[in-house]
Structure 1
Amino acid sequence: MKKYALLLGVSLIALMALGMFSSAIGDSHGGTKGKSAVKAKNEDWKAEFPDYYESWRGTSKSDEIVDMLKKNPQMVILWAGYGFAKDYNKARGHMYGLVSNVNSLRTGAPTGPTDGPMPTACWTCKSPDVQRVIDEDGENEYFTGKWARLGDQIVNTIGCADCHDSESYELTISRDYLARGLEASPVDYSKVDDTQMHSLVCAGCHVEYYFKATEYKDTAGADQKAMVVTLPWSEGFLAEEAEAYYDGIDFADWTHSISKAPMLKAQHPDYELYTTGLHFKRGVSCADCHMPETADGEADHAVSNPMTNIKNSCLNCHDATEEELKATLEIKYNRREQLNQMAMNTLATAHLEAGKAWEAGATEAEMAEVLQLLRSGQWFWDYAIASHGGYIHAPEESLRVLGVAINKGSDARIKLAGILAKHGVMNYEAPDYSTKEKAQALAGVDLEKEIKAKIQFRNTLFKEWTESAIKNGYLDPDARKGMTDNTSYPK
């Protein structure tokens, strides 16, 4: 069978043995520094691989905006005090990875290179320009400063050089933090075969991570602090193991603005959850399902949901009809969604009850166990849900993790009932959070202000970034041709 013409061979140019990673990366994470060989402009691949390029551009068809906060307003309460309470949409195609990042209210409305709420690390999974900049400036230097600092350089969306070596064209691990994560994990990755590489290239982005504060000295000898993307894999890939890692370093992404709990935000632990499922155990790679063969035996680079192409994705292995598979997957989704709603309602209500307990005069000693239950319970919920395809990748594990989340949230509510009663609050009913608008009011989100500032940013600084990138040769003028500019907010 002719398969993955561009993905030939075992791509160990960048991998080799995992034992070589540490010597190549070093402790300073300084990068190679110098002119980069990375072909970050996706259009530079078009002449040699026209069919793959056009196939990849097919991801621009996944342009629908699904406002997940409108669909599930509980999420606003769960993320109160964090950027996700402002704006969170269902993921779109790779062509929209960078633009969605720019348009999101979470990245704020900077007015210059030192302004805005996010660090440069927020570009990391959105563009092959990231590795180009790291090669040219150094890894620590890339991870230093604000997101807006590199707005005129990180301009090409998720594409060819994120997965392929720019000289050999073979699959490669393009992010050093993934190499470090693999080396730190308890799994032996010293020998990586072709099937594993067809998943590991995806794991560069579809993983759980955090920003590790890393002190270093710049070329002038001045003290600097980089916020380096780091994978919490030293304990393993399970939700409990990642939680143990974070607890061990006393880490929190933010403090919940209502309950005051020190919270963790799962990013998208797709690879981790996938390794617990049957597909992984049977040797099925990410590419087998998300980049199935076309009629001429080539890999479809319009990376998409396998459900939109069951004939070429699922039916290559499953002995069933398309209708039967759709019915089975709908059952799996509905089971996951039932527990998802239970977990969100339980945890959101608990956060609000915790807020009332503080208001009533609860002490830190009384609330300590409740806050830990909220932190842990929400982590388990998020770990299952942020892995968007978890109900297919690992349905049993997804349900198990959600079950733990519900249990911890319920325990928190039981303890809160006692604390509230102790402080004279009986039969407390949490306020209504049944709509996005009501939930954001409770969470203190000034959506009108956020949108106004974002539109101003889009009409000024973002346009300047684009013009500068084209002028300096970083961005092809036609790179975003044919893409829509949809957002979850009115422009």
Structure 2
Amino acid sequence: MRKYKFLFAISVIAIGLMSVLLASINEKKAEKEQLLAVPQIEKKWETKSEEFRKHYPRETDSWKQTKNSDNIDDMLKAHPEMVVLWAGYPFSKDYNAPRGHFYAIDDVSNTLRTAAPVDKESGPLPSACWTCKSPDVPRIMDEQGNSEYFTGKWAKYGADIVNPVGCLDCHNPKTMELQIGRSYLNDALKAEGKSPTFENATQQDMRTLVCAQCHVEYYFKKTPLENGKVAMAVTLPWADGTTVEDMEKYYDNIEFSDWVHQISKTPMLKAQHPEYETWKTGAHGRNNVSCADCHMPYTQEGGIKYTDHKIGNPLENMDKTCMNCHRVSEKSLLANIQDKKIRKDDLNQRALEQLVAAHLEAGKAWELGATQEEMKDILTDIRHAQWRWDFSAASHSAFFHAPEETLKTLGTALDKVANARIKLAKILAKYGASDYVAPVITDKKQAQELIGLPMEKLIEEKKEFTNGLLQEWKKEAEEKGLFNPKSREGIENKTSY
């Protein structure tokens, strides 16, 4: 009798455990079915990423972790030579290493480069400077048309572009399929004639192209409109190809320059952030390893597999990124990467120092009476040298994406600036200044004083803007239903000034 009672008890326990297991399996199955089903986002252009959390909590929570990348790395303090290289251009005032997507709006609003507008019509920068900062941009492009969006000043949309890079930048809210809301990318892909366009892109292609909406080289093309307005339209210079030489040729052929250098009088090019173009020339690009494969790896949580949206450094998560393909130890792979970075950093510093000297020597030559004809070839060498240095520097992970191409690019930059300085030595000797030695740049303050930047005034004006008009923009955006102030609670306002 006792034996049967014991067996009965064991059976009850077993049935109970099986019931719990079955309930757990059913719960996971239901959750998977819920995830596979595509819920409807209420608004066609829902730009507040927090609104997606009710349906995609894991993805949204991981996206929010981009706010952990909040350090301000002052690149002008680290490399004060850049101040002189960008003399006469806004980057000489303020330039920090990129932070997480969560801070895209904060950083473009706080930087000294966007200055201190006093209303929606004041400058200095065009509205196009918002283009890669927010999902509000494709919303406005859809509502107003691309041409209208690209007219006016940056301050024009201060109360309308308020949400940082998020869900709607890459996803169709109805289907959650990858989408691209900035048509200039497709225009450039068609002009290049080599890459897949939107019409024939595979899912794997799209896992890179959604990033290429913003992580590319571009310029603002001055475009007169029929209504008398002028659009400064974001345009990618890919008609001749996507290498540094191809784009240099494109810009030279249309005689484009971003600005004229304050000291050397060189018509300059400012590289933006050509990660896509650099990636294409490296091993990952040639093998179609997408941006998302490394920067947004798949993550397992219980029985649920999802894409990690904490977009950042793949080396912080190597077991889910690098080690999926590389059959070496993490230690060995990291050592190899560090060696590549050291080589790039060495050439980068050499190029910085040589370019500073070239600009200052050119300035001295002008001061002594050098002619336009004497300086013509020198200015071309400086233009091409700095473009190539900047292309390598502005593509922040160039040494990783395409180490050989990056070293080649920096090497040709050094060749061209050396040619410029040899020619300058002859001109300086002709005008009796063969003993001229350009000052060595040692810190940011010295460099900014050298080019005559009134930093105290610029900073004071910026603080007045951030404490005044910027707060009015946020309040207006909240009243329009575009901005949720709770999404920014606890966020420290950081700058390098």
TM-score by length of 2: 0.89
Q: CA RMSD in A?
A: 1.6
The answer to whether the aligner puts 1:171 opposite 2:194 as a matched pair is: no
Quote how far apart the aligned CAs of 1:7 are: 12
In 2, are the aligned partners of 1:353 and 1:430 still within 8 Å (CA)? yes
Q: Residue 27 of structure 2 aligns with which residue?
A: none
> In structure 1, what is the equivalent of residue 299 of structure 2?
294
Q: Unaligned 5+ residue runs, structure 1? A: 9-35
In the alignment, the residues of structure 2 paired with residue 431 and residue 356 of structure 1 have an alpha-carbon distance, to the nearest angstrom, of 12
Provide the C-alpha distance between the structure 2 equivalents of 1:7 and 1:326, rounded to a whole number of angstroms: 36
In structure 2, the partner of 1:16 is: none
Q: Which amino acid aligns with 2:45?
A: V
SS of the residue 1:227 aligns to: strand
Match of 1:212 in 2: 221
Q: Please name the residue that 1:24 is paired with.
A: none
Task: State which of 484, 489, 494 in structure 2 corresponds to 1:486.
Answer: 494
SS of the residue corresponding to residue 234 of structure 2 reads strand
Match of 2:55 in 1: 48
Deviates more, 1:36-45 or 1:441-450: 36-45
How far is 1:481 from its partner?
2.4
Which stretch of the first structure deviates more once superposed, 165-174 or 234-243?
165-174
Which structure exhibits the higher relative contact order, with contacts defined as CA atoms closer than 8 Å and separated by 6 or more residues? 1
| Distance in 2 between residues matched to 1:362 and 1:271, nearest whole Å | 41
How far apart, CA to CA, are the structure 1 residues paired with 2:34 and 2:219? 32
**Per-residue deviation at 1:371?**
0.5
The equivalent position to 1:39 in structure 2, one of 39, 43, 46, is 46
Residue deviations 1:105-135 (CA, integer Å, cap 9, x gap):
0000000011121000000000000011111
Match of 2:257 in 1: 252
Matches within 5 A, 1:5-24: none
Match of 1:21? none
Deviation track 1:245-282 (CA, whole Å, cap 9, x = no partner) reads 11111100000000000000000000001000001112
1:377 aligns with 2:382: no
Unaligned 5+ segments in structure 2 are 1-32, 37-42
Between stretches 181-190 and 56-65, larger displacement belongs to: 181-190
Deviations 1:381-420 (A, max 9, x none): 1111110011110000000000010000111000000000
User: The residue matched to 1:212 in structure 2 has which SS?
Assistant: strand
Query: In the alignment, is residue 318 of structure 1 matched against residue 326 of structure 2?
Result: yes
Q: Which residue of 1 aligns with 2:404?
A: 396
Partner of 1:108: 115
For residue 270 of structure 1, what is the aligned residue in structure 2?
275
Residue aligned with 2:487, SS = coil
User: Is the contact made by 1:77 and 1:443 (CA closer than 8 Å) also made in structure 2?
Assistant: yes
Distance 1:477 1:97 in 2: 16
- Provide the rounded CA distance (Å) in 1 between the counterparts of 2:267 and 2:195: 33
Matches within 5 A, 1:192-207: 192-207=201-216
2:256 aligned partner, one-letter code: F
Where 1:275 maps in the other structure, the secondary structure is helix
2:158 corresponds to: 151
Question: What do the CA deviations read for 1:17-65 (whole angstroms, capped 9, x no partner)?
Answer: xxxxxxxxxxxxxxxxxxx832211122111111111110000000000
Aligned to 2:28: none
Report the AA paired with residue 469 of structure 1: A
Higher helix share: 2
**Equivalent AA in structure 2 for residue 215 of structure 1:** P
Which amino acid counterpart does residue 257 of structure 1 have in structure 2?
Answer: Q
Name the aligned partner's letter for residue 429 of structure 2: A
Structure 2 partner of 1:284: 289
Q: Deviations over 1:360-397 (max 9, x none)?
A: 11111110111111111100111111100111100000
Shift of 1:6: 12
Residue type of the alignment partner of 2:206: M
Deviates more, 1:477-486 or 1:349-358: 477-486
CA distance in 1, matches of 2:406, 2:195: 25
Note if contact 1:253-1:262 (Cα within 8 Å) is conserved in structure 2. Answer: yes
Structure 2 counterpart of 1:352:
360
The CA distance in 2 between the partners of 1:72 and 1:295, in whole Å, is 41
Q: In 1, Cα distance between the equivalents of 2:35 and 2:46?
A: 17
Q: Please name the residue that 2:232 is paired with.
A: 227
Contact 1:276 1:397 (C-alpha < 8 Å) held by counterparts: yes
Moved over 4 A (4+): 5-8
Q: Give the counterpart letter for 2:395 in structure 1.
A: S
SS of residue in 1 equivalent to 2:194:
coil
- Match among 398, 412, 415 for residue 407 of structure 1: 415
Deviates more, 1:223-232 or 1:308-317: 308-317
The CA deviation string for residues 131-189 of structure 1, in whole angstroms up to 9 with x for no partner, is: 11111111111110000010000000000010111221100112111111111113042
Distance in 2 between residues matched to 1:6 and 1:72, nearest whole Å: 51
Alpha-carbon distance between aligned partners in 1 of 2:329 and 2:312, rounded to the nearest angstrom: 20
CA contact (8 A) 1:6 1:170 kept: no
1:76 to 73, 77, 83: 83
Residue of structure 1 equivalent to 2:39: none
Secondary structure of residue in 1 paired with 2:341: helix
